[in-house]
A and B are shown apart, each in its own frame.
Chain A
């Protein structure tokens, strides 16, 4: 036991003391927060960054005058000059596009020096169609009040009924995001730290120190010590990341919300002015919208069971890692260098890739479906599947307990299998191992 501790110590400190560990530990949260900040900033000040398209409108039908909505990086100006003259002059006059609506309403054209993006033309198409539909309905004698009612946009606010009958807002978007990020991090880190274990084993084998060490400790002790040591490195890194991210995001969050609010006010004020310039067109500020969205997302994030999510994340990371890294260790022991690992890596990484692919579609769309539940029970797939499900709140305590139990059993099983291959593999040189060979090694007596 003392010896395992010694090995864990060496594996842990030899990695934590590296400069790259420190750099990574501090850089990742900064980059992460920076990225989120940047996205929020860009969303909030879209109009400043995205270039505003000025569209000249010639409306021969007269139906749409002053009715097109500004926004989405477009501002509409109505010109009364004839189409033929404007066609030649609109670019010189500082417009990007010319929208020509003939009185028959067929053959609407959008002219421009550059091709309009599908988004731009699509938006204009939608606007025109909506406007003409309303007008036709009014013409057909539908009351405008009825029309307004008919056009009401329904938005669903998902509510979750708790066991005690209390109703809470269900924060689907945030659950989605948190679940996905957690699953992704686990997916990534299983590969990352698993590969570290594998490389560590190969290093010991190639440098031939292995024989010296296993004349002092049992191969199993060495394997376990290495796995636990590197696992602790991963755990340290994640805990530091989580702590740093929480601290940084609290700081950044307050600053950001303040900024976004200020920006929103500024932008809408500016747009009011602009709107007045352009003959009092209706204003629908996307900046104001995105500012509200930001606040909502932050609010939603706060509603997710943070402690439960983080502790489950750490559990599934740790045991998922233990389960997979022992297999990685077995692979490392069976080869003489890293390039030979390919053939054995595939079956190990397959369940991970498979679950991660499903996570993005099936599980995230229906987190409590039988498939999702099964995937969150099987030890090879549960670290990813469970992390997607947890933030949605549909995981019962029984399911969680069962999944965790299977996880631990799965870890014990793979470690047992791996150690039997490992003890033989580390002493084999120059022999290209096949699966048949591995099976033989597994069967060897001690």
Chain B
């Protein structure tokens, strides 16, 4: 769908993107991750043709990016904004028509979306009269009204309460099911794991990691497990096939996080533990995207918001 090839973007004093290449597959949800200032917004602006790269190219379904593609992309910027003094319905029609929709068609679709998001009563209200959540919904409608093949969402859930965030998430997934490719830029790693098929991680203008979420997480496995058992805490006799990283003691059950020694297997752990305790659970701890993010970026600038 989108091939980003060797993009370089140079501003006066710093290089925002340095030889960045990313492939985004048709119909997938793609996470664009990175700390603040990593170059995400610069890249998004290039895909949106707001700015042009100094070198490199972006292909949209194999064609070099050009004006024709503008109407096939929907963009929800991180910093939301609508005309404060303009009526919300009129405003959405305006934005949709700027994306090439006819007035009648825009009207029809806007009605549909307003009902779907339960904001139909607000058509004639000015933006400044709406609550923040309501404004966000309106902005979301404006982004998707022209049924873009590619949806670029920059922190789509910020500003929503949990209920509305869930609504919007479901709408995004539904659009994805209908065939829209989604680029999803965020700091929130838990939503990345939930939504994204693949990701690319940018840091200091470079792409430092990309691939399928599952593959990435698996490649960061390091033999860490969580083990829970009943009863009193047991003492470990002799040489255990693992090292204990952390132990938590509760009244009736115990939990420990352990790392299997090199050369040992999960079965060795069970064999060792079975005579000692009544085991409830033994589960591998696959690193979360958050942990990988922090590890790769260095911890300093990451955030969970």
Chain A residues at the B interface, C-beta cutoff of 8 Å: 3, 6-7, 10, 14, 203-204, 207-217, 427, 440, 445-446
Shortest distance in angstroms between A373's beta carbon and chain B's nearest beta carbon?
Answer: 43
CB of A211 within 8 A of CB of B50, answer yes
Residues in chain B within 8 A of chain A (CB atoms): 12, 45, 48-52, 54, 70-71, 73, 75, 77, 79-86, 94-95, 97-99, 139, 142-143
**CB-nearest residue of chain B relative to A222?**
B98
Chain A to chain B contacts (Cβ below 8 Å), 28 pairs: A6-B94, A6-B97, A6-B98, A7-B98, A10-B94, A14-B85, A204-B83, A208-B77, A208-B79, A208-B81, A209-B81, A209-B83, A211-B75, A211-B77, A211-B79, A211-B81, A212-B75, A212-B81, A212-B142, A212-B143, A213-B95, A213-B98, A215-B48, A215-B70, A216-B71, A427-B50, A445-B54, A446-B52
Enumerate chain A residues within 8 angstroms of B73, measured Cβ to Cβ: 215
Known: A6-B94, A14-B83, A215-B73. 16 other contacts (CB 8 A): A3-B98, A6-B97, A203-B83, A203-B84, A208-B77, A208-B80, A211-B75, A212-B77, A212-B82, A212-B143, A214-B50, A216-B98, A217-B98, A427-B50, A440-B12, A446-B52
| Closest CB in chain A relative to B83 CB, distance in Å | 6
A6 contact set on B, CB distance < 8 A: 94, 97-98
Chain B residues with CB below 8 A from A204, complex form: 83
Instruction: With both chains docked as a complex, state the minimum distance between the C-beta of B185 and any C-beta of chain A, in angstroms.
Output: 13
B143 contacts across to A, CB distance below 8 A = 212
Report how far A308 CA is from B143 CA in the complex, Å: 50
Question: If A211-B77, A211-B79 touch, does A216 touch B85 (CB 8 Å cutoff)?
Answer: no
Instruction: Verify A216–B95 contact, CB threshold 8 A.
Output: yes
Q: What is the CA–CA distance of A229 and B94 in the complex, to the nearest angstrom?
A: 15
Q: Which 6 A-B pairs have the closest CB atoms?
A: A208-B81, A209-B81, A216-B98, A208-B79, A207-B81, A211-B77
Q: How far apart are A190's CB and chain B's nearest CB, in angstroms?
A: 24
What is the minimal beta-carbon distance from A426 to any residue of chain B, in angstroms? 10
Cα separation A3 to B97 with both chains bound (whole Å): 8
Q: Smallest CB–CB gap between A21 and chain B, Å?
A: 13
- Given the known interface contacts A215-B70, A216-B95, A216-B99, the answer about A209 and B82 at a Cβ–Cβ threshold of 8 Å is yes
With A and B bound together, what is the CA distance between A132 and B84 in angstroms? 77
Per the bound structure, the CA–CA distance linking A207 and B84 in Å amounts to: 7
B contact residues around A3 at 8 Å (CB): 98
Instruction: Using CB atoms, name the residue of chain A closest to B75.
Output: A215
A7, B98: Cα distance in complex, Å: 8
- CA distance in complex: A3, B96 (Å): 11
A210 to B73, CA, bound (A): 16
Q: Which of B52, B80, B81, B94 contacts A445 (CB 8 A)?
A: B52
B45 CB contacts on chain A under 8 angstroms: 427
Q: Tell me the smallest distance from the CB of B58 to a CB of chain A, in Å.
A: 14
Report chain A residues within 8 Å CB of B139: 212
Is A207 touching B77 in the complex (CB atoms < 8 A)? no
A18's nearest neighbour on chain B, judged by CB, is: B85
User: Within the assembled complex, what's the spacing in Å between the Cα atoms of A7 and B83?
Assistant: 13
Q: How far is the CA of A204 from the CA of B54 in the complex (A)?
A: 27
A112 to chain B, nearest CB (A): 61
A177 CB, min distance to chain B CBs, angstroms: 39
Taking the closest CB of chain A, its distance from the CB of B145, in whole angstroms, is 12
In the complex, chain B residues whose CB is within 8 Å of the CB of A215: 48-50, 70, 73, 75, 77
Cα separation A202 to B49 with both chains bound (whole Å)? 22
A14: contacting residue among B48, B51, B86, B97, CB under 8 A: B86
A212–B140 CA distance with the chains assembled, in angstroms: 11
- Taken together as a complex, chains A and B put the C-alpha atoms of A203 and B99 apart, in Å, by 21
A203 CB contacts on chain B under 8 angstroms: 83-84
Give A206 Cβ to nearest chain B Cβ, in Å. 8
CA distance A300 to B111 in the complex (A): 61
Q: Which residue of B lies closest to A209 (CB)?
A: B81
Q: Is the CB–CB distance between A207 and B94 below 8 Å? A: no
Question: What residues of chain A lie closer than 8 Å to B80, measured between beta carbons?
Answer: 208
Chain A neighbourhood of B51, CB < 8 A = 427
Q: When the two chains form their complex, are residues A207 and B50 in contact, meaning their CB atoms are under 8 A apart?
A: no
Question: CB-CB < 8 A to A207: which residues of B?
Answer: 81-84
Cβ-closest chain A residue relative to B77? A211
Complex Cα spacing A212 to B146, Å = 13
Tell me which residues across on chain A come within 8 A of B12, comparing CB atoms.
440
Contact B81 A210 (CB under 8 A): yes
Instruction: Name the residue of chain A whose CB is nearest to the CB of B50.
Output: A214
In the complex, chain A residues whose CB is within 8 Å of the CB of B70: 215-216
Min CB–CB distance B11 → chain A (angstroms): 9
Closest Cβ of chain B to A444, distance in Å, is 8
Within 8 Å CB of B81, what residues of A? 207-212
Q: How far is the CA of A368 from the CA of B294 in the complex (A)?
A: 76
- A337 to chain B minimum Cβ distance, whole angstroms, is 15
The complex places the Cα of A7 from the Cα of B45 at a distance, in Å, of 21
Give CA–CA (A212, B48) in the complex, Å.
10
How far does the alpha carbon of A143 sit from the alpha carbon of B196 in the complex, in Å? Answer: 115
Chain A residues with CB under 8 A of B142? 212
Chain A residue nearest to B94 in the complex (CB): A10
A217 to B139, CA, bound (A): 17
A317 to chain B, nearest CB (A): 26
Among B54, B84, B95, B98: residue with most chain A CB under 10 A = B98
Count chain B CB atoms within 10 A of each CB in A208, A216, A217 and give the residue with the most: A216
Q: Closest residue of chain B to A426, judged by CB?
A: B50
Is B54 within 8 A of A212, CB to CB? no
Complex-state Cα separation, A210 to B45, whole angstroms: 12
Residues of the B chain whose Cβ atoms lie less than 8 Å from the Cβ of A214: 50
**In the bound complex, how far is the Cα of B52 from the Cα of A427, in angstroms?**
13
- The residues of B that contact A211 with a CB separation of less than 8 Å are 50, 75, 77, 79, 81
C-alpha spacing A323/B105, complex, angstroms = 38
State which of A208, A210, A212, A427 has its C-beta within 8 Å of the C-beta of B95.
A212
- Bound-complex Cα distance A189 to B142 (A): 35
Q: Which residues of B have CB within 8 Å of A14?
A: 83, 85-86
- Chain B residue with Cβ nearest A14: B86
Assembled-state Cα–Cα distance A205/B51 (Å): 16
How far, in whole Å, are A208 and B154 apart by their CA atoms in the complex? 14
| Contact partners of B82 in chain A: CB under 8 A | 207, 209, 212
Instruction: Give the docked Cα–Cα distance between A116 and B51 (Å).
Output: 74
Residues of A within 8 A of B79 (CB): 208, 211
In the assembled complex, which residues on chain A have CB atoms less than 8 Å from the CB atom of B95?
212-213, 216
Question: Which residues of B are found within 8 Å of A208, using beta-carbon distances?
Answer: 77, 79-81
How far is A240 from B88 in the complex, measured between Cα atoms in Å? 30
Question: How near does chain B come to A208, taking the closest CB pair, in angstroms?
Answer: 3
B146 (CB) vs chain A CBs: closest residue: A216
